[in-house]
Amino acid sequence: MMTKRERMLSLLRTYVGPHLPSVLLLAALLLGTAGLQLVNPRILGGFVDTAIGRGAAARLVRSGVLYLLVGLGAQALSLGTTYVSSDLAWKATNSLRQDLAKHCLSLDMAFLKTLTPGQFIERIDGDVEQLANLFSQFLVRIASSVLLLVGIIVVLGYQDWRLGLGLIGFVAVALLTLMGMQNAAVSDSEKEREVSAEFYGFIEERLMALDDIRANGGGHHVMRGFTQALRRYTSACLRAWLKRANIWLTSFSLFCVGQTAALLAGLLLFYAQSMTVGEVFALTNYMAMLFGPIEQLARQLQDAQKAFASIERVDHILGVKREILDGPRDVLPDGPLALAFDAVDFHYEDSDERVLKDVSFRLEPGTQLGLLGRTGSGKTTLSRLVFRLYDATGGAVRLADADVREFTIGALRNRIGLVTQEVQIFDASVRDNLRLFDASVPDARLIEIITELGLSQWFESLPSGLDTLLGPQGHGLSAGEAQLLAFGRVFIKDPGLIVLDEPSSSLDQATEHLIDRTMDRLLANRTAIIIAHRLGTVQRVDQVLIMDGGRVAEYGPRQELAGNPASLFAELLRTGMEESIA
Ligand SMILES: Nc1ncnc2c1ncn2[C@@H]1O[C@H](COP(=O)(O)OP(=O)(O)OP(=O)(O)O)[C@@H](O)[C@H]1O
Ligand SMILES: [Mg+2]
């Protein structure tokens, strides 16, 4: 186990290491700024003393110009600092974001299901954002703040040792007070973020379900929920804000106390004739400068704590291992694939209830299986095992006469096509929805597929062809059209096995007809499992398997079962698919 500090260093090495030149540049810029800041009050003090002593005008002008130049230089350096540190922060955190996103995408469904989209965003973006400061300027800022503080103390202590001692005491008190207050505010700020995520989650979920809510008259309840969520949000914000305002007030009070003490000390030293007016002037200036680094230090140390908490959460995610692992074989045979379930048992990780119980069947290459059964009987679950979205908990799923676990996941999924029950449409063009953002698929190939699948007419009805934009969640696309699009997606990889999970919603006659025709081409010379909700689809399959509560209730050649009046299938056909299955 690595300690927190080791872990932080290893993250810094991985993500900041490659940008060492930027880090060095940043360090130089910050040190330069600190140096210039340290010089300025001296120039000012000198100016005042020269003026009081009625010194030469030329000297005054020189000091003035010097003061101006130093001020401008400090501004320029701080501009550079902002640029370099933002650049560094983005570069370093983006590569971490990338690693996290890649890792999350590779994880098992079982894990992915445990987080909501909002939580994923918080993990991949929110937590990483907390690290931006740590990655870009933490060490450098601490170093330059300490340097500036020490510089001020040394300069003033050199002038009068009592000033130096007083300053050390003051800095210690101010630092401890501010840090204590910031730590006390952390939990409220976190609460604020949590409640805000909850609030936006609430809105997002309700917006997604707008159709349902409106149709079922749920608007009233949603508004009440909204008001309650908003109330929680407001009170959390208020509390966090008050704590922050408190810190600001305290810091301001400390500033006033410090300034007064400095003036007083300056006055005494002036009367004791150990300080000139200019030096008193410089003293108050240094005192005012003190607050920059004090606040900076308190903020950086608090940020580091938050960063540690983020590192823990990031590590937690990075530590999650896949359980569904690649097998040794990375090629599957060409052409249609044989598929067999061999006494397969399965339960989802979160319950012991078996969803599939002792399921066995065999499909020869190029044959088609119609999978029927009541809702919740395990049909979709069965299809997930073929893809290794989950692995069977007992028995084996065999593809081309080999256990699916023998193949690499990439190779396996490349040879199987899935049309899910609810086709996901992206807020993108028809082109990108078809090729799933894979820019290596040329338009010509897409048009070819559209023609091959017999979708030319549908395609011609689109207002701007492949560039036609489909709304988020496929608004403006019917269930049937979404399915057609998914057929196209599957066709691109020319799979040897297709799993088609039909949507249970009914389609209009014209679309149904179009889908039937498209399916002819899609399924030609391919093995297929069709989870059928329509009679039209059932009539094309070679074999029928009826599931009931996770078990195989009936399995056999379609024609045979249809011809046997005692079979469940014949009963289904008599009573009508829709009533008995849906
Ligand atoms: N991801 C999951 N995690 C846990 N349990 C699940 C999950 N998906 C499905 N189940 C459970 O497994 C059982 C079978 O669900 P499945 O989706 O396979 O049914 P189905 O036959 O496809 O139903 P439908 O005809 O409605 O699509 C159900 O009891 C369901 O609650
Ligand atoms: Mg289903």
- What atom of ligand 1 comes closest to residue 109's alpha carbon? 1
Q: Closest by alpha carbon to 84, among 144, 146, 28, 8?
A: 28
Tell me what pLDDT residue 579 has. Answer: 47
In the predicted structure, residue 426 carries a pLDDT above the cut 50:
yes
In the predicted structure, residue 501 carries a pLDDT above the cut 80:
yes
Residues in contact with 270: Cβ distance below 8 Å, sequence separation at least 6, in sequence order: 276, 277, 280
Is 559 domain-assigned? yes
Do 282 and 421 reside in the same domain of the chain? no
Q: SS3 of 547, please?
A: strand
Instruction: Give the residue whose CA is nearest to atom 9 of ligand 1.
Output: 381
Do 401 and 517 reside in the same domain of the chain? yes
Count Cβ neighbours within 10 Å for each residue of 524-554 and write b for 16 or more, e otherwise.
Answer: eebbbbbbbbbeebbebbebbbbbeebebeb
From the CB of 381, is ligand 1 less than 6 Å away?
Answer: yes
Indicate the length of the chain as a whole number: 582
Eight-state DSSP code of residue 402: E
In the predicted structure, residue 582 carries a pLDDT above the cut 80:
no
Q: Closest by alpha carbon to 75, among 33, 109, 39, 38?
A: 33
From the CB of 383, is ligand 1 less than 6 Å away?
Answer: no
In the predicted structure, residue 475 carries a pLDDT above the cut 50:
yes
Residue type, 373: G
Q: Identify which of 6-10, 340-344, 513-517 has the greatest average pLDDT.
A: 340-344
The CA distance from 275 to 87, in Å, is 45
Q: Which of 259, 284, 319 is the last residue of a domain?
A: 319
How many angstroms is it from 379 CA to the middle of ligand 2?
6
Q: Which of 257, 290, 319 is the last residue of a domain?
A: 319
Please give the residue that has the higher pLDDT: either 301 or 562.
562
Print the domain residue range for 62: 12-319
How many angstroms is it from 347 CA to the middle of ligand 2?
15
Is 392 domain-assigned? yes
Do 287 and 363 reside in the same domain of the chain? no
Is 362 domain-assigned? yes
- What atom of ligand 1 comes closest to residue 582's alpha carbon? 25
CA angle 15, 18, 22 (to 5 degrees): 100
- What atom of ligand 1 comes closest to residue 377's alpha carbon? 21
| pLDDT tens figures, 374-405 | 888 999 999 999 999 999 999 999 999 999 99
Do 266 and 354 reside in the same domain of the chain? no
Do 561 and 497 reside in the same domain of the chain? yes
Is 487 domain-assigned? yes
- What atom of ligand 1 comes closest to residue 581's alpha carbon? 25
Tell me what pLDDT residue 577 has. Answer: 63
| pLDDT tens figures, 450-463 | 888 778 888 888 88
Beta-ladder partners of 394: 345
- What atom of ligand 1 comes closest to residue 378's alpha carbon? 18
Is 3 domain-assigned? no
How many DSSP H helices and E strands does the chain contain?
A: 22, 10
| pLDDT tens figures, 247-282 | 888 888 988 898 898 889 889 989 988 888 888 888
From the CB of 166, is ligand 1 less than 6 Å away?
Answer: no
User: Tell me, what CATH number does 557's domain have?
Assistant: 3.40.50.300
Backbone angles phi and psi of 468, in degrees to 5: -55, 130
Do 247 and 349 reside in the same domain of the chain? no
Do 163 and 209 reside in the same domain of the chain? yes
Determine the distance from the C-alpha atom of residue 207 to the mean position of all C-alpha atoms in its chain, rounded to a whole number. 20
Q: Which of 291, 319, 347 is the last residue of a domain?
A: 319
Containing H/E element for 380? helix 379-386
Tell me what pLDDT residue 382 has. Answer: 94
Which segments within 337-437 are labelled E, that is strand?
339-346, 356-363, 368-373, 394-399, 402-403, 416-419
Q: SS3 of 520, please?
A: helix
Do 312 and 402 reside in the same domain of the chain? no
Distances (CA, A) of 207 to 195, 210, 350, 487: 18, 5, 29, 29
Is 330 domain-assigned? no
* Percent of residues, the chain, with pLDDT higher than 90: 26
From the CB of 379, is ligand 1 less than 6 Å away?
Answer: yes
Largest CA distance in the chain: 120
In the predicted structure, residue 84 carries a pLDDT above the cut 80:
yes
* Percent of residues, the chain, with pLDDT higher than 70: 97
Do 22 and 103 reside in the same domain of the chain? yes
| pLDDT tens figures, 428-439 | 888 998 888 888
Please give the residue that has the higher pLDDT: either 187 or 264.
264
Do 295 and 382 reside in the same domain of the chain? no
Domain total in the chain: 2
Ranges 47-51, 112-116, 172-176, 540-544: which has the least confidence: 112-116
Mean pLDDT for the stretch of residues 545-556: 93
In the predicted structure, residue 581 carries a pLDDT above the cut 70:
no
Test site for ligand 1: of 111, 354, 377, most ligand atoms within 8 A of the Cβ: 377
User: Tell me, what CATH number does 228's domain have?
Assistant: 1.20.1560.10
Tokens read off for 35 = 């140096």
Tell me what pLDDT residue 276 has. Answer: 86
From the CB of 120, is ligand 1 less than 6 Å away?
Answer: no
Is 94 domain-assigned? yes
Do 93 and 189 reside in the same domain of the chain? yes
- What string of DSSP letters covers 570-581? HHHHHH-HHHHH
Is 550 domain-assigned? yes
Burial degree of 58 (CB within 10 A; 0-12, 13-18, 19+): exposed
Do 347 and 486 reside in the same domain of the chain? yes
